[in-house]
Amino acid sequence: MKFAHIADVHLGYEQYNQPWRAEDFAKAFRSIAKKAVEENVDFVIIAGDLFHRSLPSPKTIKDAIETLWIFRKENIPVFAVEGNHDKSRDVSAYHLLESLGLLNVIGLRKNPVSGENTRSLKIQNVYLVKGAVGDVEILGDRHRSRWQLEKVLPLLKPESEKSILVLHQAVKEVVDVELEMAYELTISDLPLAGYYAFGHIHIPRIYNFNGRFIAYPGSVERYDIREASRIIRYRKELVSKDGIGKGFLIVKNFRPEFVEIDTRELYDVELEDESVESLERKFFEVLKDMDREGVMIAKLRCRDVVDVRNFSEIAAKNLRYAEIRFERIFEDAEEIELKQESEFFTEFELKLLDLLRGEMDEDEVYRLVVEHYLSVERKVGGEKVQEVAEEQTEPEPEEKKMMEKRMVEKEIRKPRTLLDFLGVEEE
């Protein structure tokens, strides 16, 4: 059994406001599709963020169709979940591609789906749509907030030893300090599966725990400076080292192996010197070895004031694109102490921030707030109000009616079913 594990394709992403960057992402996806076919994979998994936005342009959808057709004409099934960038409350671009027979959307849905490679299991008033290839079971769900995952994960229990869990989430043990990302899960939260096909982290990560792998293939193209292909530092001496590769994972018998593809060069450059003249000399020295079709993100540090426009004009003549910023060197700079969010916010406030950071709809935020304050009212009513009940007078009849009306309204607004809680909409 062999399959391709892809994630974070971000089709349509015009990075740096440059349309040609969107074509770079589409080109990377096509390259991966061709390599996967050459590897004779049995199926393909896309672990979220196929698109950069939930409403991709017609050109972006066309790019997706053309590449997915590479798999379709070889009868290679594709299974996908929506990521935080491209999920939608209603019908998404994923469902359009599903209707064209180009991929299978797995996860919790309002209506059952059945086909050659899909099965539906009813859970309360929703359906868990699963993938199936031979004796391999493929489960997963779209990107969820941390508080939603508390109810979703217990539903994603594999029935087979040969199972794959597909999620677009960050796992604490895999997200190291270097990535500077918040996490939604820990390994202990995960149901037991044969392989964990994850997306969301753009840097390739393969984590082995007890012989099982949690794997992130990373984004297919260079999404930000942390994913540079070359890291250059020039202070007293020139130091140049390789960055990270871009590509996807080929998974054979649940053991992943990274396959690198060619992408546009991205240079992460930091230069420092006392004088502008010396800084400019270093800049030319670094620039001469760069690919003219590459992208450079540079930070210049100097005690003198630097005219960034001059450096930008030089870079524009030698590279496809460059961003340059200047930082003045001052003595005795004050060190700033960083603190964790948990030191400032309650658990409820952290959940709310988690929702607001993502592309969550207003109803989802509203449900969280209502559920929180209803639980607070119940707790207060059960523990504290009883202590002073004897001191209170019976409310007037009219006032009592108003209180009862408000309680009924609150109960109506409270999520009543799993469907309401998850915000699963009609497809």
Binding residues for Mn(2+), as ranges, are 8, 10, 49, 84, 168, 200, 202
Q: What is the dihedral of CA 190, 195, 198, 203, to 10 degrees?
A: 120
DSSP state of 90: S
Q: Exactly one of 5, 85, 95, 143 is catalytic; name it.
A: 85
Question: Which helix or strand (DSSP H or E) is residue 283 part of?
Answer: helix 276-287
- Taking CA atoms, 270 is separated from 189, 241, 294, in Å, by 40, 13, 16
Q: Residue 56 in contact with residue 11, Cβ under 8 Å?
A: yes
Rounded to 10°, the helix 347-357/362-383 angle is 170
Known binding residues are: 8, 10, 49, 84, 168, 200, 202
Q: What amino acid occupies position 121?
A: L
Q: Exposed e or buried b for every residue in 188-217, given b needs 16+ CB within 10 A?
A: eebeebbbbbbbbbbbbbeeeeeeebbbbb
- 269-300 burial, b if ≥16 CB within 10 A, otherwise e? bbbbbeebeebbebbeebbeebeeebbbbbeb
Beta strands in 134-202 (DSSP E): 136-140, 163-168, 195-199
List, in order, residues 6 or more apart from 168 with CB less than 8 Å away. 7, 47, 48, 49, 81, 82, 83, 84, 142, 143, 198, 199, 200
Phi then psi dihedrals of residue 6, to 5 deg: -120, 150
Q: Is 85 considered catalytic here?
A: yes
Alpha carbon 277 to chain centroid, angstroms: 43
**Tokens read off for 10:** 């971000």
* Helices assigned H by DSSP within 298-425: 308-318, 347-357, 362-383, 385-388, 397-413, 418-422
Pairing type for strands 295-302 and 205-209 reads unpaired
Active site residues: 85
